[in-house]
Amino acid sequence: MKKFKMSLAATATVLAIAGCGDNEEGNNGIGNDTNQNNEEAEEVNEEPDVNMADNNENNNDEFDADNDAGLNDDNNAANNMDEDGEEAEAVMDQDFQNFDLNVTLVDETEWEFTYNPAHEDGEEPEATISGDDINLEGEEAVEEMEAYLSDFHVNAASEQEEITSGIADTFDFNEDDFQEYTLTIDFAEQENETEWTWSQDEDEEDEGGEEDADEDAENNDDGLNLDDDNNNNE
């Protein structure tokens, strides 16, 4: 019986020790799970590093770029307005009351350019440009014509050759491509309109007439020389 009791005591001791071991392992497992959860929570709560200085610098750069673009647009618009104003003044200085140009090219293309400046305060100038599938009118045509006429300097006494070269240079034509043209300008200082008309056919006829006149003059000189010779022989 004593041995049995001792065996029971030993068995109880072993079971107690085993139970403590299980408790420790269970406690360690709970502790490990808690530590793992805490670490995951810390990772989730961690926020990425943000460089506020870099962000502010980038935002400032974008703002400066937008401002520069806006200033450039404003400056370009102001420069265009200044140029348009200068061109209009240049046309007014020439004192055109009316401008009408009709051009026919050798390929039978026809062009027409008209411009009527404002004569009174509150009026707007009028203009048209047509030819080769182009048809402009209103403000766009006015701006184009004022740009053309600001470089077209003629007066009522201008010679035909000057008018021809002026039309070609100003309106970007080639003189050799002209079949004919008619230019009519009403100058303020002139009582009537001044008109210049040129035709390639008439020009060729005139050149032919001049050649014929030169030949007639040569023949007359030859005839005079023969008469002189005959008189000398007599």
CA distance 100 to 113: 6
What was the pLDDT predicted at 126? Answer: 96
What was the pLDDT predicted at 139? Answer: 95
What was the pLDDT predicted at 27? Answer: 47
CA distance 87 to 145: 9
Q: Angle at the Cα of 20 (from 16 to 24), degrees rounded to 5?
A: 170
Beta strand 110-116 with 126-131: parallel, antiparallel or unpaired?
antiparallel
What was the pLDDT predicted at 121? Answer: 82
**Spatial contact of 87 and 96, defined as CB atoms under 8 Å apart:** no
Structure tokens at 196: 């210049």
What was the pLDDT predicted at 133? Answer: 87
- The domains of the chain are located at 84-199
48 Rama class: left (phi>0) / alpha (psi -120 to 50) / beta: beta
Cα–Cα distance list, 156 to 94, 114, 195, 221 (Å): 11, 18, 9, 40
The Cβ-side half-sphere exposure at 221, using a 13 Å CA radius, reads 6
What was the pLDDT predicted at 99? Answer: 96
CA distance 94 to 113: 17
Tens-of-pLDDT digits for all 234 residues of the chain?
Answer: 434 444 444 444 444 444 544 544 444 444 555 555 555 545 545 555 545 555 555 555 665 555 555 555 555 544 444 555 565 665 666 678 899 999 999 999 999 999 999 888 888 999 999 998 899 999 999 999 999 999 899 999 999 999 999 999 999 999 999 999 999 999 988 899 999 999 998 877 776 666 665 666 566 555 555 555 555 555
